[in-house]
Structure 1
Amino acid sequence: MTPTAPGSRIAGKLGLTDRIFAGPRSRKLYATVEAGLKRVDSALERELRVTDALADATSRYLYEAGGKRVRPMLALLTAQLGDGTTEDVIDGATALEMTHLGSLYHDDVMDAADKRRGVPSAHAVWGNSVAILTGDLLFSRASQIMARHGDRAIHLQADTFERLVLGQMHETVGPKEGDDPVEFYLRVLSDKTGSLIAAAAQAGVIFSNGPTEYEQAMMTFGEKAGVAFQLLDDVIDLSADPDETGKVPGTDLRAGVPTMPYLVLGQRKDAASADLRARIDDGVARIADGADPVILDEPLAQLREHEATDATLDLAHAWSQEAIDALAPVPDGPVREALTRFAQAVADRSS
């Protein structure tokens, strides 16, 4: 399979051209990022090749299925605060995207997801063990890339990977008695999604020798934007259009994986909300016992129209605004403008 052009892929999902790089002073920046994404894609094409035939096929599978390349794009954006798109920046962006890809193989096994990026999930094709080992292989190869750049890069990769694992572990175990489910879930999102996007934003500054005073701002920005991004994914997961998600509508909830609309629904005390929550819980339990997942079609359609889903959208916008607020130390200019629009775009992918 031949991947589509990076620019068109991102533009289609995030409105990159019209939203993030709008305005005349963004044209040069847009061209720079587009050129950098082509280099990252070439690097991914090269780094994902393995001499073993099976490992080569499995390692390249989700890469060739597409993807938004959000993390490399963000690293390329923040690199413009330093020396620009250097080879070191391309390496850092490539390693973090490979880390993201590796996490998808593991996530799909743990969530029992049937599809990813519009194709059967890797474990559906090769089985759980091969899918898990493929994720491990991608983590290893990402670490090899980072190791070329010394201790600081190794620490960035290791710290990010630790947070990814802890986030997945906490999601798997669930909140303890007395934990607020919504607050617990936001912490999980900060680790599982926010940490990697924060690493990408920070990596652009680090690998381009940018000013150190921007690093914390980029970390905070990336984490906040990452949580906003995932909150919107929770809403999109309920979409009635599988072409929008690449998955069956409500895939996460059907597999018993809580999402923010479901958690917010649980906070509502009115009878209709309690009844809807109970029907979703009953459907999830029956699916786990072998029932047809279509039994949740109607309850999930009602959740899609429920106020809890609107509240999730509002929460995504609030985290997006916090990401924008974190940009205060960054000087006005095309980069700050694009980062602001990035935060807005990940919280509203409807246009």
Structure 2
Amino acid sequence: MTSSPAAPGSRLASRLGFSDRVFIGRAARRVADQIEAGLDLVENGLAEDLRVADSVADAASRYLYEAGGKRIRPVLALLTAQLGEGNIPAVIDIAKALEMTHLGSLYHDDVMDGADRRRGVPAAHAVWGNSVAILTGDILFSRASQLMSRYGDRAIRLQADTFERLVMGQLHETVGAQPGDDPIEFYINVLADKTGSLIAAATQGGAIFSNAPAEYVEPLRLYGEKVGVAFQLLDDVIDLSAKPEETGKVPGTDLRAGVPTMPYLLLKTETDAASAALAVQIDEGVARIADGEDPAILDQPLAELRDHVVTQKTLELARTWTRDAIDALAPLPKGTVREALTRFAESLADRSS
């Protein structure tokens, strides 16, 4: 398996949301060209930086990188860097470090979730076993920290703070809401930690390490975190899609595995008898699947959940977070970067329409 920055699908136009709908007009295309040039540097750098002398560690470390991926975090870092000095070496290294952190988290997540596949290939733990997969994730985290350490205390703190939030988000998802916690608020916080924190690190990191004006950093952090939450809420809707050929997932994959999603959590707050009965059906089905029964026993209840008002409410909630993300960009100057970030957020919402 090999990777090339010039391979089909590795260009900006193929990245989620970064298409002609995002970069409109001649000036925007010039920015897009800069991001594509930066992505080439990131891809080439990752191919080199992920190499390990040990043969097993080398193959495992490059496994998910070579399987592909959208590189959304590097793209966002490169985009916000255009508010400063652009694709300078610090920005390229920060973009690589954040992508390594993301990749490392995938190795760990797949072990914890027992996932069979990732990016169209068998999950790393299915190839090498849980221990090697976990240790490979650790290697990627260490390589990311090495890159960040080149840029002093601020970079180290950004990496450490983001990594802590990733871990806490996974921990809270694993143990679940505790007595006294509001389940909806708890779940939003998990999404903010698990997904929003790393996207926020990318959007603010691009500005910080390109020497963009300091007053842009906090708005970009807020934007990234809110976009991350919106992204995951929309995934909850997509998870129930009746068109697996379009989503690439069996409908209700997360719920069948016992992972709560926002439609399910909102269903539990409904007070009518039909909603309560549906929630019981889902709970009983999840328990039976955990005991070894065919996951297909939840086909009908999940179809009902897909058509329930709570799924539409989840979509509306995601769009609220999207609007809030766009509103956070108000302090930024009007221009191609702000417009592209706005259109990117809007393109996320379009995924479920």
When normalised by structure 2's length, the TM-score is 0.94
Q: Which residue of 2 aligns with 1:59?
A: 61
CA shift for structure 1 position 243: 4.8
2:169 touches 2:191 (CA, 8 Å); kept in 1? yes
2:12 touches 2:36 (CA, 8 Å); kept in 1? no
Q: Taking structure 1 as reference, are residues 31 and 102 closer, same or farther at Cα in structure 2, changes over 3 Å only?
A: same
SS of the residue 1:318 aligns to: helix
Find the aligned partners of 1:179 and 1:9 in 2 and give their Cα distance. 43
Find the aligned partners of 2:55 and 2:306 in 1 and give their Cα distance. 43
When normalised by structure 1's length, the TM-score is 0.95
Q: Which residue of 1 aligns with 2:167?
A: 165
SS of the residue 1:257 aligns to: coil
State which of 131, 134, 155 in structure 1 corresponds to 2:133. Answer: 131
Give aligned-pair identity as a percent.
Answer: 71
2:244 touches 2:250 (CA, 8 Å); kept in 1? yes
Q: Say whether residues 1:199 and 2:201 are aligned partners.
A: yes
CA shift for structure 1 position 333: 0.5
2:236 touches 2:263 (CA, 8 Å); kept in 1? yes
Deviations 1:125-144 (A, max 9, x none): 22222211111111111111
State which of 264, 287, 290 in structure 2 corresponds to 1:262. Answer: 264
Unaligned runs of 5+ in 1: none
RMSD over aligned CA atoms reads 1.8
Q: Taking structure 1 as reference, are residues 251 and 124 closer, same or farther at Cα in structure 2, changes over 3 Å only?
A: farther
CA shift for structure 1 position 7: 5.8
CA shift for structure 1 position 229: 0.9
1:115 touches 1:246 (CA, 8 Å); kept in 2? no
- What is the aligned length? 351
Find the aligned partners of 1:350 and 1:9 in 2 and give their Cα distance. 24
1:113-128 alignment, distance < 5 Å? 113-128=115-130
Q: Taking structure 1 as reference, are residues 57 and 294 closer, same or farther at Cα in structure 2, changes over 3 Å only?
A: farther
CA shift for structure 1 position 9: 6.3
Unaligned runs of 5+ in 2: none
Greater shift after overlay, 270-279 or 30-39? 270-279
CA shift for structure 1 position 81: 0.6
1:242-261 alignment, distance < 5 Å? 242-261=244-263
Deviations 1:252-285 (A, max 9, x none): 2121111111111212222222222211111111
CA shift for structure 1 position 207: 1.0
CA shift for structure 1 position 88: 0.8
2:262 touches 2:314 (CA, 8 Å); kept in 1? yes
Greater shift after overlay, 77-86 or 285-294? 285-294
Q: Which residue of 2 aligns with 1:322?
A: 324
Q: Which residue of 1 aligns with 2:29?
A: 27
Q: Which residue of 2 aligns with 1:310?
A: 312
Find the aligned partners of 2:336 and 2:82 in 1 and give their Cα distance. 9
State which of 218, 222, 225 in structure 2 corresponds to 1:223. Answer: 225
